Structure 1
Amino acid sequence: MHEIFKDLQSASKRLLFAVVVWSLQISSLNFLSSKPAFSQIVPDRTLSIPSQVAAEENTYTIEGGTAAGNNLFHSFESFSVPTGTEAFFNNATTVENILTRVTGNNISNIDGRIRANGIANLFLLNPNGLIFGPNAQLDVGGSFFATTANSIVFDNGLEFSATTPEAQPLLLVSVPTGLQFNGQGGEIRVRGEGHSFTAFDPLFSPIFRNNDARGLQVNPGRTLAFVGGDITLDGAMLTAEGGRIELGGVEEGFVRSISPVSPESQQWRFNYDGVSSFRDVHLVRQAAVDVSGVSVGSMQLVGRQVALSDGSMALLQNQGTQTFGLLRVQASESLTLTGMNPDGSIATSLRQATIGLGSAGDMDIATRRLAIREGAQIVNRTQDMGNAGDIDIRASESIELTGASPRNPIARNLIANASFGMGLTGDLIVSTHDLSVRGGGNLATVTFGAGSAGNIFVTATEVVEVIGVEPRILAPSILGSASFSMGNAGSGIVNTSRVIVRDGGRLAAVTFASGNGGRLVVNASEFVEISGTVPGSINASSIDASANRVEEVTQQIFRVSSVPSGSPGDLEINTPQLNITEGGLVTVRNSGTGRAGRLQVNAEAVLLDDRGGITASTQSGEGGNVTLRVDDSLQLRHASQITAEAGGIGNGGNLAISADTIVLLEGSTIDANAFQGQGGNIQIETQGLLLSPDSRISASSQLGVDGLVTIAQPEIETRSALVQLSSDPLDATTQIVSACSVAEENTFIVTGNGGLPPDPTDVLRGQDVWVDTRLPDFVEASPLRQVDSHEEEGSSIELPLVEATGWQHREDGTVELVATPQVRVGNRWRGNCRD
């Protein structure tokens, strides 16, 4: 029993000790959770004057550090700011730049506030990585730079390094000039709850920012920069009102920083020419980078793969009177924009805009591949008096716009320069290898107001494809320029090898309203192909500079009249092979009240098949003029047409067609007809014209005067066929035919326009000789009498004399005059001509 009691007593002591230890641990944890841990911000001893950290309540007060001129250097073993805490840099107000590095191995987690005195710029350098939580805030008077570079470089070559923190003579440094990366930099991730932007609709409405104070912000006009490895904004908000935002995904190389050069601008700029390899930049879950404001904002996104999705946005919205700054995106591999926010009101976008008197800035995009999907947009627009800027896109491999938003069919994939007010739009310049616009996507300059649309210039070394419609509202894929209001459409130039417009797609410079259409020029070094229609749509696949009606649903979306009143522009196509099939159109027609445009095609061969058309027709105005210059063949088959018909009181247009051969089969037509006006004129120049019985060429008028149809062969140049005659006089006596036997050296000469003189020794062969066929005038017949057989044998009946009409040679060489000569046939005399 005693032993058992001792064992129980020992066990009780051990249990009591465990309970005490456990209680102490709980108390310690409670204490740590109620006070900030000093281990979150820990200075190191690498500086000549080390940093000092004092913790009071929820604030880390950072003092000390090494000063060098207007720069103040801090160095930490670790640097994190937990939720609800603050890191306060208690610097002198004369300090211009606070440079902070982390030399340990830990990532910096920042979910509290970072604060500094005065207007100092703050640099935070941690190669291990930086993570900003949804509660992170900035309270600095100057700009803020977060980077995972290895070092900050100065103009004298000195570095403030986090990976080799050995002391250097920092007293000689001045302004930071760049960031050095060695290929091992960590990521920068910023988390948030997503922006709260709103818009009445994804097409017409400006963005309402709602004074959202969430996320990381700097003072107006300042710079907010994140330059590191992979950059991810996950629902994050970055704001620099009227300032600059910089996102740079860098793996290895040197990023040059350019400090502000004037008091008017406090924006820092970065140059990535010294970078050898990049990392990715992603904006997801309604992330936003916003420099909108009344002063000049600008933005740059640089990386390997730059991607925005889920309604994320890069926004530069000018609310002032100055011209806004540049939005530049450089993606060494790809730039991808996808989708919309959950309610379908905000498109994922790169967006320059003006809502005031000042103009929007330009957009400059350089990448290998650009893809816009599910309703995303790249747009530069004006809502008021200010002008929109230019959009310049260079994608060395491909540009792809595919479809519309699954949530909202109105929100189509879009690269556009647009006017919704009095301001003008800028130009749209696109350069790539392959360009594909499909499923209702748009690549266009467009006006919905009084301001005119800009011009569009497309260069695609391989192919331009404009294919299909948005199936829910039958909105076509469009490449070009358009007017939906009073402003005029812009002009367009497309240079490529192949153009394919199919299944309802449109390559166009058109008007749907009172503004005029633009001029369109298409140059394709291999071929142009237009084919197909869409069931239920009034518009076929087309290349056009026309004034067109649109479907009823499109009229409602874009608020346009059902009948356009503007005039179309001109259209020119230059290509070796032009194929228009299955209802496809090349047109400068006017479906409204005005005249048609002018159309010119220069090609080696043109084929229209299965209702293909080239038209300059009108509903009621003057028909347009069509000029076709075809080197080889022009073929129209299966109800295809070339027409400049005019409806109403308009006169028919004129058709001028030149081709080596022209073929019209199976009910095809060439028309310049009119209804009440005068028929147009058709002038055809060809070597050969084949017309089936059911096909026609017509320039008639139902109620007016018919036009003229002229068909002619091309003029033949005869000067080159003339022979230069000898200037030496000829002896006519020597020009007798050489009908002699070949006995010695001879020559044969044909001179002038005459034939050969006859052989003087030849018989008159084939000559028409008059023969007297009259019966001789015999004396009156006497009664027949019996002739005695004994009369003299030499006696004969005396015949009357007749006139001689020829002669013939006797065998003895004498000549006998005869009434009817016998023409000699047989061997010709072959004496020596010289005898």
Structure 2
Amino acid sequence: MKLKLIYLLLTAAPLWVCGLQRVASAQLATPSKPSGPASTLIHPTTPATAVEQNSNQFNITGGQASGGAAPNVIHQFDRFDVRNGDQANFIVAPNVSNVVSLIDSPQPSSIYGTLQIQSNVPNVASNANLILVNPEGLVFGESIQLNLSGDLTATTASGLLFSDTYHLDIDGVVSRAIIPGQDNTGNTNPSVANLTGPPTGYVFTDSDRSLPITNPLSTALPVGSIHNKGTLALEPQSTLTLLGRYVQNDGDIVASGGTANLVAVTGDNLVRLSQPNNILALELISTDAIALQSAAGIPQTITGGDASQANRIQSNTNGSQSLTSNSSLTTAPGSVLVRGSIDVSDRNGQGTVNITAEQINVIGSEISANGINQGGFVSIGTESGIITEDVMVNRSSAVSANASAGQGGTIKIRAADTIRLYGDATANGTSPGNLDLKAGQTLDVR
């Protein structure tokens, strides 16, 4: 059925919709399962970072440290690939808030082993968050393991914004960001010492590396993609953020009572967060409107750098990833494809799932934000910032925010054009939950 500016709010329990249409299996080719890179390659680009191998463990120490109440450690690499069975172990002081790894590489990073953060003080744990940045792409393999007490952010941004004032480029250069409409009275001679607390924004440039969409269900990945094929399991109440040009989840994401953010960005934009780690309150600002003032005091406009002719990630026979310039790219920059599971369920229904992109496809997936006392919250699509055009939830998918002994949660789906909800959507409980759908043009519920 076709409706103009439709808003459908269902508040009765049980809330259940079941689709009749199947997506052809030919469109859903099973992703290849390479064994990962043949060897672990972790190459620092500055003497500030040291990597020492001890058997299958690669201990990463040093880095450039900021000050402040929430200090960060910045590492720079030109390769960051972790083989199945190996460990990338970041060793930091117990008070470090964030470990930022800038990977300025000509190819995506393949991580099939373990990511770990360890305190340098015996018997004192590290709660630091890990932030991985590689503009070319990040691939998490089937055998990946996470040994993290904090959050994990994986992004293909080309730079990070701190305190809405200081820009950290992928090459490690720190500049003062001059953003229209805000107080720009920051330090005119900034350094890593100014980069305290979590990033408040992510800068994306070089959008011309990605080609237009022809088939959003293809497994070919454009440059700037994040692809999860394994199990990304975090500690309860933690946050996992995958923020790239294109995001594809073929594995499992687990964060009991925590938050899972899957966000895809097109164009050259600053994705600014109104509150740290709050991906729902994002704001897009064109990088053409932002100027940087370097330590030398020379202002310049943020623009895309040297555009490569490479436009997709290719899985090689030895499990490594490389770039190719195949013009038959069939994926969609600005899209999120979820074919694996996302589970943030916990007793109190504190789990949250946010999926934000221009095009969202949930295919053969299970997204769960269930609880006992209360159901959680699932948001698919947005009306501001990154505006979602189309959402597809196919017949073999299930989205739930149920409560076994309390109020059902909320499932919210937004699209400026079309919502196709063919799968199950339930927000059941002893008290009604909400299924909140809003489509600008077409709402198709089967």
Q: Same fold (TM over 0.5)?
A: yes
Is 1:378 the counterpart of 2:425 in the alignment?
A: yes
Tell me how far apart the structure 2 counterparts of residues 163 and 371 of structure 1 sit (CA, whole Å).
42
Alignment of 1:569-718 (within 5 A): none
- Cα displacement (A) at 1:393: 1.6
Task: Point out which structure has higher relative CO (alpha carbons under 8 A, 6+ apart).
Answer: 2
Superposed CA deviations along residues 247-267 of structure 1, whole A, max 9, x for unmatched, are 00112322223556xxxxxx6
Instruction: Report the counterpart of residue 132 of structure 2 in structure 1.
Output: 124
Is 1:279 the counterpart of 2:279 in the alignment?
A: no
Q: Is this contact kept in 2: 1:36–1:57, CA < 8 A? A: no
SS at match of 2:410: coil
SS at match of 2:107: coil
- Cα displacement (A) at 1:366: 3.3
Instruction: Report the counterpart of residue 410 of structure 2 in structure 1.
Output: 361
- Cα displacement (A) at 1:379: 2.8
SS at match of 2:142: coil
Q: Is this contact kept in 1: 2:375–2:403, CA < 8 A? A: no
TM-score normalised by structure 1 residue count: 0.36
Instruction: Report the counterpart of residue 255 of structure 1 in structure 2.
Output: 271
Is 1:181 the counterpart of 2:204 in the alignment?
A: yes
Tell me how far apart the structure 2 counterparts of residues 112 and 369 of structure 1 sit (CA, whole Å).
40
Tell me how far apart the structure 2 counterparts of residues 270 and 122 of structure 1 sit (CA, whole Å).
20
SS at match of 1:327: strand
Tell me how far apart the structure 2 counterparts of residues 303 and 190 of structure 1 sit (CA, whole Å).
17
SS at match of 1:171: helix
Specify the code of the residue in structure 2 equivalent to 1:335: V
- Cα displacement (A) at 1:173: 2.2
Q: Which consecutive residues of structure 1, in runs of 5 or more, have no partner in the other structure? A: 1-32, 193-214, 261-266, 341-347, 402-440, 442-835
Tell me how far apart the structure 1 counterparts of residues 62 and 243 of structure 2 sit (CA, whole Å).
27
Tell me how far apart the structure 2 counterparts of residues 37 and 398 of structure 1 sit (CA, whole Å).
49
Q: Is this contact kept in 2: 1:255–1:270, CA < 8 A? A: no
Instruction: Report the counterpart of residue 346 of structure 2 in structure 1.
Output: 293
Match of 1:304 among 358, 365, 372: 358
CA RMSD of aligned residues (A): 2.5
Match of 2:228 among 185, 190, 203: 190
Superposed CA deviations along residues 19-49 of structure 1, whole A, max 9, x for unmatched, are xxxxxxxxxxxxxx9x9856x100002xxx6
TM-score normalised by structure 2 residue count: 0.67
Instruction: Report the counterpart of residue 64 of structure 1 in structure 2.
Output: 62
Is 1:50 the counterpart of 2:48 in the alignment?
A: yes
Specify the code of the residue in structure 1 equivalent to 2:400: R
Q: Is this contact kept in 2: 1:36–1:55, CA < 8 A? A: no
Q: Is this contact kept in 1: 2:395–2:424, CA < 8 A? A: no
Alignment of 1:385-784 (within 5 A): 385=430, 387-401=431-445, 441=446
Q: Is this contact kept in 1: 2:272–2:285, CA < 8 A? A: no
Q: Is this contact kept in 2: 1:149–1:180, CA < 8 A? A: yes
Structure with bigger gyration radius = 1
Tell me how far apart the structure 1 counterparts of residues 87 and 192 of structure 2 sit (CA, whole Å).
28
SS at match of 1:177: strand
**Are the structure 2 counterparts of residues 298 and 227 from structure 1 closer, same or farther at C-alpha, using a change threshold of 3 Å?**
same
Alignment of 1:95-244 (within 5 A): 95-117=96-118, 118-162=126-170, 165=173, 169-175=191-197, 176-182=199-205, 183=207, 184=209, 186-192=224-230, 215-234=231-250, 236-244=251-259
Instruction: Report the counterpart of residue 333 of structure 1 in structure 2.
Output: 389
Specify the code of the residue in structure 1 equivalent to 2:265: V
Tell me how far apart the structure 1 counterparts of residues 141 and 83 of structure 2 sit (CA, whole Å).
9
SS at match of 1:188: strand
SS at match of 2:193: helix
Tell me how far apart the structure 2 counterparts of residues 313 and 83 of structure 1 sit (CA, whole Å).
27
Q: Is this contact kept in 1: 2:259–2:352, CA < 8 A? A: yes
Tell me how far apart the structure 2 counterparts of residues 100 and 325 of structure 1 sit (CA, whole Å).
31
Tell me how far apart the structure 2 counterparts of residues 84 and 62 of structure 1 sit (CA, whole Å).
17
Tell me how far apart the structure 2 counterparts of residues 61 and 258 of structure 1 sit (CA, whole Å).
35
Tell me how far apart the structure 1 counterparts of residues 76 and 280 of structure 2 sit (CA, whole Å).
24
SS at match of 2:401: strand
Superposed CA deviations along residues 37-79 of structure 1, whole A, max 9, x for unmatched, are 56x100002xxx6211011111110000011021111111111
Instruction: Report the counterpart of residue 350 of structure 1 in structure 2.
Output: 399
Tell me how far apart the structure 2 counterparts of residues 56 and 323 of structure 1 sit (CA, whole Å).
45
Tell me how far apart the structure 2 counterparts of residues 392 and 332 of structure 1 sit (CA, whole Å).
15
Q: Which consecutive residues of structure 2, in runs of 5 or more, have no partner in the other structure? A: 1-34, 119-125, 176-189, 210-222, 287-331
Instruction: Report the counterpart of residue 246 of structure 1 in structure 2.
Output: 261
Tell me how far apart the structure 1 counterparts of residues 411 and 110 of structure 2 sit (CA, whole Å).
36
